[in-house]
Structure 1
């Protein structure tokens, strides 16, 4: 009963801000998580029990104020509908998602340090995020960390993990880096991997592989 009474005093997603009008300060912070999202839409296209948010506010009750969100560069929640009421989410409001917190969070470190190794790691631990990935290809020496780090929540504390790609059994996916050609550029991005460590390819990569093997379909 107390749980139900508490929820009635919390604001709905329609009442909460869905944008702070502050742009990301580098291209990778937008591209990297969106790349993972589009790849996931391809490999999990027949599933409706997951949601991947990019640069979206996550409202929760484990902080000082439930009206103040944490905004990961990317996050994955499992066991929630792909679409709520057949429409897109304005934000991810944990108390409207049967108290399901994200199981995976990604932060891409930029020139302006955003607390990825201290303040945010504490927030995500309190929220119960099982896997926390920090991707820091450009400023890892400055921050005295590695370019790619995976943390797992153990007894309420994050422990850094070893291995890449790193397999996350509770998620059913692995994650790791790969140098690829996208948009006319060769760049390092993050990919999803299967349990055997095999990288999931994008539809474009599969089509190119098919053409290289069997020739252009239009010929």
Structure 2
């Protein structure tokens, strides 16, 4: 067989995206991890997901997740972080437009999150705030991954114990904490703001992290929208009832005036 013939029979190299592991190949959970620490880590990310509605993107081009493996380095495909919540814009809501995600794999998706939220707990506070150092042969910390590898523009840290909100933004490649005059941050990149809202969610009244729009209005949940529609319908029904009562009173006053003039309003006119 000639050299030219052997080249003809050699398959062309496959693109890296096809040869690297996908979310189907990588584990989506670690049985050694202790899991979610409390109910707040269930409810708060859900409220963030429901109200994360960037006006610059259609809903089918917005993805967010909580407690999902985020694979970040193609050189070490088994390394991942597990943010309490993160949001991405410009990617299909479904993986490749057809499947629910098991994990978020950067080298498959091609787009890093625009914002990540960590909810402080006593066991994770030092790492979440960048106070932990790792040796060169160890995986990087969350802080290092978010800042240096993924370069996530907004890193939000909230403690439900102290009700303290901290916001870090990338400036010259490093996270700098913002001096917040109010517990909120506007993100022009996505046309949304994130702040602390005092109210009731999931039957619990407390401070929650919540998204708001350009007018400063908190983004409504579907349940709130339904309650608003029901209240508007109740108000319309009340207005109709009041108008009907006013008409009845006007008719009664007219009847009284006719009787005063000697005209029986109930008598049929010829």
Q: Same fold (TM over 0.5)?
A: yes
Structure 2 match to 1:151: 168
Alignment pair present for 1:37 and 2:49: yes
Aligned position for 1:133: 156
Q: Is the 2:61–2:92 Cα contact (8 Å) retained in structure 1?
A: yes
- 8 Å Cα contact 2:62-2:90 kept in structure 1: yes
Q: CA deviation at 1:91?
A: 0.4
2:88 paired with 1:66 = no
Bigger Rg over Cα: 2
Deviations 1:143-167 (A, max 9, x none): xxx7111111112101112343211
TM (normalized to structure 1)? 0.83
How many Å apart are 1:8 and its aligned residue?
Answer: 5.3
Structure 1 stretches of at least 4 aligned residues deviating more than 6 Å after TM superposition:
41-45, 216-219
> Which structure has greater helix proportion?
2
Q: Is the 8 A contact 2:54 2:190 kept in 1?
A: no
2:54–2:191 Cα contact (<8 Å) kept? no
Please say if 1:160 is aligned against 2:160: no
* Structure 1 range deviating more: 29-38 or 200-209: 200-209
Root mean square deviation, CA, Å: 2.8
TM-score (norm 2): 0.68
Name structure 2 gaps, 5 residues minimum. Answer: 1-13, 131-140, 239-270
How far residue 7 of structure 1 moved from its aligned partner, in angstroms, is 4.5
Deviation, structure 1 residue 182: 2.3
**1:39-85 superposed Cα distances (whole Å, 9 cap, x missing partner):** 336989952111101110111117x7221111101111111111124
Which structure is higher in RCO with an 8 Å CA cutoff and minimum separation 6? 1
Structure 1 gaps of 5+ residues are 141-145
Aligned equivalent of 1:16: 26
Using the TM superposition, name which of 173-182 and 207-216 deviates more: 207-216
2:95 equivalent to 1:84 = yes
Aligned equivalents of 2:65, 2:27: Cα separation in 1: 15
Tell me the equivalent position of 2:265.
none
